[in-house]
Amino acid sequence: MVNPRSAGQESMFMSVTDIFASEIFESEEELEQFLGNVESLMRRGQPDVAATLIEAQLMELNDGRHDIAKLAQATPVSAVRLIGWEVLDQTFRKIDRPEQPVTAMSVDISAPVTLPAPDPERGNFREPDLETLYFTDSAFAFARAGREEINHGYGRKAGVWRSAFEEAGAEVQVRGLGGIYGEVLAYQRRRELGDLPLPADNDALVMGHAFVAVRLHQAMRAVIEGRGLPRPVTVLVGSNESYPFFDAPVYTRAEYYDLIEDGEEGEVEESKFASLSLAPRPADYDPGSIFQDDTQVSGTSLRRRIRDAAPVEEPANDTASTPTSLVSSLFERLRRRPA
């Protein structure tokens, strides 16, 4: 959720300037615009369109034969699952305060502080580390806010609620993105070692990071629609210092009510909350173990350092006027290859 450049820590993170060398984009500005348009689609509730655009760019690399492009093709939404979902009700109740219940959660990809070296047994495989932030309406009026209001709450760097979370935890984790995410980190490590000379590899690095962020967003939406939530809350997916720093709402509270609304009377059946079937926790589930390795560090400590800082109002990001014109213009750009 927090773009690290706002904290003056540029040397720790991948920037567009660091990585720019492209077969697809004519300039850094064009790449930035493309990523901004992808995030805009996610914020408007169109992550499937966003994913299609990224996949189309990946298929431009070596005619779809690039390693990261092939891994993206092998990672459909159906292959991604979330674990720890069944403990959310207990977590919400633990964090609830009198007259201030949890009304929003943000599941963020946490960038590794140190890029991992290949593992002798697992190779480059590495699942993303997720951190979940829990909010009440003391941070932002999530209980009443629709998608438009939440999108206006995003400033140029992060949501205005970014430092007002109640708790941060690692209850929710992801399985199924480890192949492509680990390969993307391996390419990033090669870049830092000066061993990524081909423009196509730099394109794959950028698009691979974007693909992982969008695929997690899609997986979150799928699990909400398939397994439900223990209560209606706003669900966001964001970034804890993880390039390309996407932040977007998956479901607002009102949208979740629409999802579970009774079709005949237009009323919510409260029993649907209790009857939601939650998958059993896998035998290998151990959220604490992901931080035992020094190369896998949560951003929780950084979050706690900024927690007491007052949120700063920032201007909302601009968005395209209509979804149709944005999508059309992006596909037109995909068809245009630089000479």
- Read off the pLDDT of residues 158-203 as tens digits, 9 standing for 90 and up: 899 989 999 999 999 999 999 999 999 999 999 999 999 899 999 9
Range of the domain at 29: 4-335
The total domain count for the chain is 1
Q: How far is CA 121 from the centre of its chain?
A: 28
In the three-class reduction of DSSP (H, G, I as helix; E, B as strand; rest coil), residue 252 is classed as: coil
Contact 242, 210 (CB under 8 A): no
User: Is 257's pLDDT higher than 60?
Assistant: yes
Split at pLDDT 50, 70, 90, the class of 118 is: confident
d(CA 243, CA 300): 17
The per-residue pLDDT of the chain, averaged, comes to 80
User: Is 279's pLDDT higher than 80?
Assistant: no
Q: What is the pLDDT of residues 4-35, one digit of tens each?
A: 434 433 434 454 445 578 999 999 999 999 99
Split at pLDDT 50, 70, 90, the class of 278 is: very low
d(CA 29, CA 37): 12
* Burial class (CB within 10 angstroms; exposed 0-12, middle 13-18, buried 19+) of 263: exposed
- Predicted local confidence at residue 120, as pLDDT: 85
Contact 219, 181 (CB under 8 A): no
Split at pLDDT 50, 70, 90, the class of 208 is: very high
- Predicted local confidence at residue 122, as pLDDT: 86
- Does an H or E element contain 130, and which? strand 129-136
- Does an H or E element contain 109, and which? strand 102-110
Torsion of CA 138, 139, 145, 151, to 10 degrees: 170
In the three-class reduction of DSSP (H, G, I as helix; E, B as strand; rest coil), residue 131 is classed as: strand
d(CA 154, CA 136): 17
Contact 65, 274 (CB under 8 A): no
In the three-class reduction of DSSP (H, G, I as helix; E, B as strand; rest coil), residue 332 is classed as: helix
Q: What is the pLDDT of residues 64-107, one digit of tens each?
A: 999 999 999 999 999 999 999 999 999 999 999 999 999 999 99
The beta-strand segments (E) located in 64-195 are 81-83, 102-110, 129-136, 167-169, 173-175
Residue at 310: amino acid letter? A
